[in-house]
Structure 1
Amino acid sequence: MTTTLALAARLRALPDDALVAVLRARPVRRAGVSDFFDLAEALLDPEAVQRALAPLDRLRLAVLTVAGRAGDARSAEWIAARLSEHAATEGATTDAVRAAVDELAGLALLQPADDGAAPYDAVTGRLDTWPALGLPGPAALLDTAPPAAPAPLTADELAAADRLAAERAFEAVAAVSELLAELRREGARELQKGGLALPAAKRLAEALAVDAAVVPVALSVAARAGLAAIADGVWLPTDDADSWQHATTAARWHDLAAAWLDGLPADLAPLLADRSRAPWGDALRAHLAWLHPASVAETAERAGAHLAEAEWLGVTAGRGPGSAGAALLESGPDAATAAMVAHFPAEVSQVYLQHDLTVISPGPLAPEVEARLRTMADLESRALASTFRFSAASVDRAVTAGETAASIHDFLASVSLTGVPQPLDYLIADAVERHGRVRVRDAEPGAEGKAVVRSDDATLLGTIAVDQSLSALRLLRADDTTLVSRFPRDVVFWALSDARYPVVAEDASGVLVTPQRARVAPRGPSAPSRDPAAELVARLRQADAAEEDTGEQWLARQLDQAVRARQTVVVQVAMPDGRLVDYLLEPTGIGGGRLRGRDRAADIERTLPLSSVKGLRSVD
């Protein structure tokens, strides 16, 4: 029997880090848990056991079933041999069983021992109740063979998948790049309950030119690759986003695909690798349902998120993986990228500049050209042939970032297949001339407000003062050429810039400065402020050490647990001559300083003084 008594003793003996790991994998309510017996009872509560069993795959459930039938601890070799006799697990190896045993022990579902392992009685008992819950019982878990694997994709199906996959991969890279650019311009608020705020979702969908349902997929892909993260409840690019956006399309897809592969759950990755050249779809869903019989819906939802990202990234296309997807699953991202690049359209580094101030790219732009062009023109449409448009505001934005009329003209002349049209020349010259008509600087110490807005153009300043889009700045007129705001200089500067006014920022001495707007989020999740599992372990250790006589208190709790469970245990008793004798005893009561129980070996009733009882251990 492997009962609460055995688990309590094991938990007490575990190092703190191992105990914390158990509690992270099996969270319990801390209320009412004052010692290791309480913790063991909480972990072996039927509902708690069910929550731990439900996500397990069929191999781990089968290990628990076979080991539970044995009645005592058995080795991994013995368990593997028994599993090989059943249709569901006939291919199970000793190494796979040993790994499963280690995982189950870490979940406090199975008790490891020198000669093997055995599940706790509460676990075996819960599995026996599964048929009444509509779940497969022990026999069904062992004897239900997996669904048949589908036939591989044909050559024609693979060729079609490759074409579609390349198109999707290229679009995904462009969409993530656009997402990061939009997040850099303005972050996206994340709701406390999870998911983007509706206005942010709509804005991102419009910027990416996709349906709103695609935005969470793009955001998940970017986050998984470490390109976007949440900081203070707002989605922002990370430090790595800028270098990624300047890399080649092939290198960018490589990073996204590698992150998708690394993010696959441990149970899903080998399954997908085994089906790297076969259709997924219904056949894959059927296999997942067989693999996780107690959590069919949850598994389908969990896998569905990864499969949706695979389809969006071009790892799969339609029925299953293309050549690049198969290479990714079999050989890794380098081989996958080599296969994918063969189907990518060639990048171009020159564009057509039109008299209507538009820019037409005859193909996908090289990243370094596109990044520079986007600092001075707005994207109108993105496709294999993208369109950009110049405006006074876009040129003003470039000048604010440090460009000059000469640097803009030189760049455009170097990339244009049609020269620089005269209307564009006029626009650049006019925008540069207008730039700086509005100046923002910090207010003098002690002055009213935090920022000062100045302009010699009284009409322009009056327009700013009554502009409803700037009402949040609380701009107040100080004189004919000055407005003041209670907000800092940079906040006022970017608000005026977004409203498309020709604004510059100055330091206290009047020297032009370029405020840095972009915020970045730290890569990876931030460390939680508190760890409930570690806190509970610390409290249990403190309570254990606070007892006046820890050894006696522990022995008393062990005996009490054995009496309540009517569990046969080995009791170590000190004899008058100094010898230690073990009795196989089923305790029946404690009182008057004595332990009463039935000696199972001698089949007699014994009464032992508690003062002579030196130890207790469960019988496995």
Structure 2
Amino acid sequence: MTNTLALAARLRGMPDDALSVALASRTFRRQGVTDFFDLADALLDRDSVQRVLSGLDRTLLATLVALGEIQQPLSPDEVATRLSTAAATPGLSTPSARAALSAVADALLAHPEGDDRFAVYDAVSEQLAAWPGIGLPSPAALVDTPPPPALAPVPDTERRFTDRLAAERAFEAGASVSELIAELAREGARELQKGGLALPASKRIAGALATDVSTVPTVLSVAARAGLIAIDDGVWLPTDAASTWQHAPSLDRWRALATAWQDALPDDLRGILADRSRAAWGESLRDYVAWLYPAGRANAQERVTAYMRDAEWLGITAHQAPSTAGTTLVEHGPDAAAAALRDLFPAEVHRVYLQHDLTVVSPGPLEPAIDARLRGMADVESRALASTFRFSAASVNRAITAGETAESIRSFLAEVSLTGVPQPLDYLITDATERYGRIRVRDVDEPGSRARSAVVSEDAGILRTIEVDQALSSLGLVRTAPDVLQSRFARDVVFWALSDARYPVAAEDAHGNIVGIRRHRLAHPRPHSDGVPYADLIARLRAAEVDEEGSTHEQWLARQLDLAIRAKQTVIVEVALPDGRQLDYVLEPTGVGGGRLRGRDRAADIERTLPLSSVRGIRPAEPGA
């Protein structure tokens, strides 16, 4: 029998870091856990055992069944021999059996013995035996039920259509993530406490991406997994990495998204996809996962659904069949997958048409670096393979605020334009740059004043317009001089309110110099660390072992014997004799008191009484001893 006594001794002997890792892999009650016996009881509680069994795949479950079939520890060779001919684990090798035994031992479901042998804890075998009563497979069915039939590979004739559709989706995915970053840079999106975005934020983002609201969670998931956006103080915002990613070529952008998807795959799902890299994933994959995780099929299928949804959107699959790029990604990695996509991506253009109505038309997908800079000085009107932008006084002001000049704008446009710079656009640039700075916003640092910023202009007419503008009423602007309006809000808040209202506003530093400011915040999520998991619990358990005199030996013996008496378990008692020799007695303990142990010696058929001071150790007896 391998029970609480054996597990308690094992837990007590584990180093703190190893014990912490083992406990972190389990869910168990912590109330009432005052020593290692209580901890062992909690870990072998039926609910705790069922929770961990629910997350095991069929190979690990079959390994536990094999250990429980006989009342003695098994080696990896013996487990492999017993399971290699089973329908659920055909051809199981000794290295695979050793890995499975190590996994169930690390999960505190099996007990490592000497000589590379393992035994299952009784509570685990009992819970598996009770599975049919809760609608789960019996131990025999876990071993004897074969997996669903192997899937047929995707035919080459279908793969051509799959690859074309997948390439379109892959390119569109990169463009959509770029739009998401731009929209979150303009205005972040608050995450609800229960998770997800509020409907107005989802609709706003869907509008910016020209997609359905139902697609927004997928775009968020893909971008967040790649580290391009993150939650900071409850708000989704771009990260530092987003700018570099946006300026990268489209193929490199897709490679980064696909790499993040692959890196995030759980190890079990990664192995499943590798085995099915050339076959349709869809429902047949979900059927296989349901067979693989008989007690946790719902959670396993939910994970599969989430990753398959993102794979479909990224072009790793199309109609649930892996594309050539998807197969290559699973088999050879993201660099090879990107190479497989290269010839299928639409050619990028680096020239545009500038028109007299102040619009810009790209004849195809723009190179990301050109697209990103153009967005800084013009507003996106429509996004597709051929996008449209529009210049305005406000958009030019925005560019100047970000550090552009009239010369740098003209130079860039002349370089990328197929039609030169039209005269109306040239006039707009000139007018906007001349008007820029007619209104300035500066910080206010006056003792006793509630004002934090001031709007200054020599144009009294503009100040009067701003003063009565209802769109700016929330700023609480108060005239304090003929050329000054003050506000209780900070300079940047006032600046962007005026900019959004399309006033030619500039920001000043403390010395009165015009400075460029950037609107968007970047996400700087604080690293979440709880320290060493279960460190407090382990420290309490260690402290509880030490009595007032600093000795733990007799306390430990008493708890072991009490547990053996309650379980009517036969144990081996190691006794030190006066002449220095040590003898082992196989006893069934019947009582402890007065510093003595009483127990039935089955071999000699007598009752023995031993002084606890002479007992050096206790361990469970082998079955039949």
Q: TM-score, normalised by structure 2?
A: 0.95
The 1:32–1:433 alpha-carbon spacing in structure 2 relative to 1, beyond 3 Å, is: same
| TM superposition shift of 1:531 | 5.1
**Cross-structure match for 2:388:** 387
**Cross-structure match for 1:403:** 404
| TM superposition shift of 1:467 | 4.1
Determine if contact 2:572/2:584 at 8 Å carries over to the other structure.
yes
The 1:575–1:311 alpha-carbon spacing in structure 2 relative to 1, beyond 3 Å, is: same
Distance in 1, Cα, partners of 2:582 & 2:598: 18
**Cross-structure match for 1:143:** 144
Determine if contact 2:568/2:588 at 8 Å carries over to the other structure.
yes
Q: How many residues align?
A: 619
The 1:457–1:28 alpha-carbon spacing in structure 2 relative to 1, beyond 3 Å, is: farther
**Cross-structure match for 1:577:** 579
Distance in 2, Cα, partners of 1:52 & 1:472: 56
Structure 1 position 484 matched with structure 2 position 486:
yes
Kindly report which structure 2 residues correspond to 1:266-285, keeping only aligned pairs within 5 A, or say none.
266-285=267-286
| TM superposition shift of 1:547 | 5.3
**Cross-structure match for 1:310:** 311
The 1:381–1:603 alpha-carbon spacing in structure 2 relative to 1, beyond 3 Å, is: farther
Determine if contact 2:162/2:319 at 8 Å carries over to the other structure.
yes
Give CA-to-partner distance per residue, 1:469-505, whole Å, 9 cap, x none. 4444333332332222222222322332233322111
Distance in 2, Cα, partners of 1:5 & 1:17: 22
Determine if contact 1:27/1:533 at 8 Å carries over to the other structure.
no
Distance in 1, Cα, partners of 2:213 & 2:532: 35
Give, as a single letter, the amino acid of the residue that structure 2 aligns with 1:223: A
| TM superposition shift of 1:306 | 0.7
Determine if contact 2:351/2:417 at 8 Å carries over to the other structure.
yes
Distance in 1, Cα, partners of 2:372 & 2:88: 55
- Which stretch of structure 1 is more off in the superposition, 94-103 or 189-198? 189-198
Determine if contact 1:22/1:108 at 8 Å carries over to the other structure.
yes
**Cross-structure match for 1:555:** 557
**Cross-structure match for 2:176:** 175
Aligned residues with identical type, % of pairs: 63
Structure 1 position 68 matched with structure 2 position 68:
yes
| TM superposition shift of 1:30 | 2.6
- Tell me the secondary structure at the aligned position of residue 240 of structure 1: helix
Give CA-to-partner distance per residue, 1:527-569, whole Å, 9 cap, x none. 3245552222222223334553212212221111112222221
Kindly report which structure 2 residues correspond to 1:355-374, keeping only aligned pairs within 5 A, or say none.
355-374=356-375
Structure 2 residue ranges without an equivalent (≥5): none
Distance in 2, Cα, partners of 1:368 & 1:64: 56
Distance in 1, Cα, partners of 2:81 & 2:599: 39
- Tell me the secondary structure at the aligned position of residue 236 of structure 1: strand
Determine if contact 1:49/1:123 at 8 Å carries over to the other structure.
yes
The 1:564–1:464 alpha-carbon spacing in structure 2 relative to 1, beyond 3 Å, is: farther
Give CA-to-partner distance per residue, 1:67-111, whole Å, 9 cap, x none. 111222111111011111210101322212211222211111111
Q: Pairwise CA RMSD of aligned residues? A: 1.8
Kindly report which structure 2 residues correspond to 1:182-221, keeping only aligned pairs within 5 A, or say none.
182-221=183-222
- Tell me the secondary structure at the aligned position of residue 478 of structure 1: strand
**Cross-structure match for 2:535:** 534
| TM superposition shift of 1:221 | 1.2
Give, as a single letter, the amino acid of the residue that structure 2 aligns with 1:481: D
**Cross-structure match for 1:82:** 82
Distance in 2, Cα, partners of 1:376 & 1:553: 77
Distance in 1, Cα, partners of 2:554 & 2:502: 78
- Tell me the secondary structure at the aligned position of residue 108 of structure 1: coil
**Cross-structure match for 1:568:** 570
Distance in 2, Cα, partners of 1:421 & 1:8: 83
Distance in 2, Cα, partners of 1:457 & 1:545: 82
- Tell me the secondary structure at the aligned position of residue 342 of structure 1: helix
- Tell me the secondary structure at the aligned position of residue 112 of structure 1: strand
Distance in 2, Cα, partners of 1:342 & 1:22: 49
Distance in 2, Cα, partners of 1:589 & 1:467: 91
**Cross-structure match for 1:614:** 616
Determine if contact 2:439/2:506 at 8 Å carries over to the other structure.
yes
Determine if contact 1:57/1:292 at 8 Å carries over to the other structure.
yes
Structure 1 position 47 matched with structure 2 position 47:
yes
Distance in 2, Cα, partners of 1:175 & 1:499: 28
- Which stretch of structure 1 is more off in the superposition, 141-150 or 432-441? 432-441
**Cross-structure match for 2:353:** 352
- Which stretch of structure 1 is more off in the superposition, 284-293 or 547-556? 547-556
Give, as a single letter, the amino acid of the residue that structure 1 aligns with 2:492: D
Structure 1 residue ranges without an equivalent (≥5): none
Of residues 594, 597, 602, the one that matches 2:596 is: 594
- Tell me the secondary structure at the aligned position of residue 72 of structure 2: coil
Determine if contact 1:149/1:283 at 8 Å carries over to the other structure.
no
Give, as a single letter, the amino acid of the residue that structure 2 aligns with 1:34: T
Distance in 2, Cα, partners of 1:536 & 1:193: 30
- Which stretch of structure 1 is more off in the superposition, 470-479 or 247-256? 470-479
Structure 1 position 125 matched with structure 2 position 126:
yes
Determine if contact 1:448/1:484 at 8 Å carries over to the other structure.
no
**Cross-structure match for 2:455:** 453
Distance in 2, Cα, partners of 1:312 & 1:278: 18
| TM superposition shift of 1:465 | 3.4
**Cross-structure match for 2:467:** 465
**Cross-structure match for 2:415:** 414
Distance in 2, Cα, partners of 1:537 & 1:460: 69
Distance in 2, Cα, partners of 1:588 & 1:270: 52
**Cross-structure match for 2:28:** 28
Give, as a single letter, the amino acid of the residue that structure 2 aligns with 1:56: L
Give CA-to-partner distance per residue, 1:253-288, whole Å, 9 cap, x none. 111111111111111111111111111111111101
Distance in 2, Cα, partners of 1:169 & 1:334: 15
Determine if contact 2:349/2:364 at 8 Å carries over to the other structure.
yes
- Which stretch of structure 1 is more off in the superposition, 216-225 or 244-253? 216-225
Distance in 1, Cα, partners of 2:469 & 2:618: 82
The 1:430–1:47 alpha-carbon spacing in structure 2 relative to 1, beyond 3 Å, is: same
Distance in 2, Cα, partners of 1:97 & 1:78: 9
Determine if contact 2:452/2:491 at 8 Å carries over to the other structure.
yes
- Which stretch of structure 1 is more off in the superposition, 199-208 or 372-381? 199-208
Give, as a single letter, the amino acid of the residue that structure 2 aligns with 1:340: L
Distance in 1, Cα, partners of 2:514 & 2:257: 39
Distance in 1, Cα, partners of 2:510 & 2:80: 77
Determine if contact 1:547/1:553 at 8 Å carries over to the other structure.
no
**Cross-structure match for 1:255:** 256
- Tell me the secondary structure at the aligned position of residue 586 of structure 2: strand
- Which stretch of structure 1 is more off in the superposition, 465-474 or 346-355? 465-474
- Tell me the secondary structure at the aligned position of residue 185 of structure 2: helix
- Tell me the secondary structure at the aligned position of residue 534 of structure 2: helix
- Tell me the secondary structure at the aligned position of residue 467 of structure 2: helix
| TM superposition shift of 1:212 | 1.8
Determine if contact 2:554/2:612 at 8 Å carries over to the other structure.
no
Distance in 2, Cα, partners of 1:343 & 1:146: 37
The 1:434–1:144 alpha-carbon spacing in structure 2 relative to 1, beyond 3 Å, is: same
Distance in 2, Cα, partners of 1:564 & 1:377: 80
The 1:39–1:394 alpha-carbon spacing in structure 2 relative to 1, beyond 3 Å, is: same
Distance in 2, Cα, partners of 1:195 & 1:20: 32
Distance in 1, Cα, partners of 2:419 & 2:319: 41
- Tell me the secondary structure at the aligned position of residue 219 of structure 2: helix
| TM superposition shift of 1:466 | 4.2
Distance in 2, Cα, partners of 1:529 & 1:438: 50
The 1:493–1:163 alpha-carbon spacing in structure 2 relative to 1, beyond 3 Å, is: same
Give, as a single letter, the amino acid of the residue that structure 2 aligns with 1:254: R
**Cross-structure match for 2:91:** 91
Determine if contact 2:290/2:301 at 8 Å carries over to the other structure.
yes
